[in-house]
Amino acid sequence: MRPRLLATAGLALCLGLTWAGRSEGQTAVPPTDPAHTPLYAGIGLSDAWWEFSLDSRIGYPEGRLRVGENGGHATHLRLHEDLGITMSEALEASVAFRFTQRDAVRLTGLYYFLEGNSRFLGQPVSYNGDTFGPGKVHTNADFYRLSLAYERLLASGLGMFVTGTGGLTYVHLDPELTQRGHRNSEDFYRQELPVPILGLRIDVPLDQRFGARGYVSGGGLPRVDSLRKEGGTIYLSQIHVDGGIALTYAVTRAMLLEAGYNFTYFFQHEKSREDDNSFELNDNGVRVRLSIAF
């Protein structure tokens, strides 16, 4: 079993044990006052100093990959149709520290699994100055993302809680094509810069345990100097968008289970006199998340 499937199975097992392991001391229904169901509003209303979250996602990815070298023509490769990446898997973990009743800092790590197999039957494709095909080609476009953000509870009236976030994110991307032992990859991460991100989350308690959540975040960089030269100055453009809706369930006063729809968009383009490389991911999927305050 692949590591990501083991991790996903581990999360599912954790959720099952959490649900099954509710002791009599945990069966008390939280108060009807939403201010006393702290996880509905996130870290800001909790008496705990720390919050840990773990989530797993499965999605349907679309997008494209293009890597040109030395001014040569590069083939536009579609993730789904051309590279055979038919499903995405992602694991995310975060830890937040609350330093006031309304303010927290959160560190998040996300790993995206994007692998596929395809068979180029017609015209060979050009990738990073190399040629692949005809024949079976394996693609590994896995990447990881690290984020640091400040969170603040902005409003807690009218039956909802509004939390704003702001921070920086960094992506490490190095997509690789392999055919009959021959490999070629492009180190997008060498041009990567930290990207500013802003976000908003709205939590609406529906009853004593259930709630609804909507969230969106995004940011990017216009065409900027990447501070790296390879065939002249390399210019970088980048866009990030994440969003979704979910139902939440307060398993205990300090434990929240969340499940719903998630959308991720990521675009990176690097351009110099010699290179013209781009990667785009448009991913729709489902997300399950467990949060624990302590």
* 102, two tokens: 């309304």
Domains of the chain in sequence order: 3-19+29-293 (2.40.128.100)
The pLDDT value recorded for residue 234 is 86
- For residue 152, CA distances in Å to 99, 140, 180, 259, 263 come to 11, 37, 52, 23, 23
Rounded average pLDDT over 267-272: 90
CA distance 12 to 171: 27
Per-residue model confidence as pLDDT tens digits over 164-220 = 999 999 999 999 999 888 888 888 888 888 999 999 999 999 888 899 999 999 999
Placement of tokens 């509870």 in the chain: 153
The pLDDT value recorded for residue 175 is 93
The pLDDT value recorded for residue 4 is 57
CA distance 196 to 188: 18
Per-residue model confidence as pLDDT tens digits over 237-248 = 999 999 999 999
Question: Is pLDDT at 293 greater than 60 in this prediction?
Answer: yes
Number of H helices, E strands in the chain: 1, 17
The pLDDT value recorded for residue 146 is 97
CA distance 19 to 16: 5
Per-residue model confidence as pLDDT tens digits over 93-130 = 999 999 888 899 999 999 999 999 987 756 778 888 78
Per-residue model confidence as pLDDT tens digits over 48-76 = 889 999 999 999 999 999 887 765 567 88
Q: ∠ at Cα 69 (63, 70), nearest 5°?
A: 150
Q: Which residue has the higher pLDDT, 19 or 186?
A: 186
Contact between 185 and 176 (Cβ < 8 Å): yes
* 283, two tokens: 């991913």
The pLDDT value recorded for residue 239 is 96
Asked whether the bond before 124 is cis by omega within 30 degrees of 0, the reply is: no
Question: Is pLDDT at 25 greater than 70 in this prediction?
Answer: no
- Provide, rounded to the nearest whole percent, the portion of the chain with pLDDT above 70: 81
The pLDDT value recorded for residue 253 is 82
CA distance 137 to 116: 8
Task: Identify the H or E element spanning 285.
Answer: strand 276-293
The pLDDT value recorded for residue 40 is 44
CA distance 48 to 254: 8
CA distance 222 to 271: 12
Task: Tally the residues of the chain.
Answer: 294
- Residue-averaged pLDDT of the chain: 82
Model pTM score: 0.83
The pLDDT value recorded for residue 91 is 97
Q: Is the backbone of residue 10 left (phi > 0), alpha (psi -120 to 50) or beta?
A: alpha
The pLDDT value recorded for residue 108 is 98
The pLDDT value recorded for residue 39 is 43
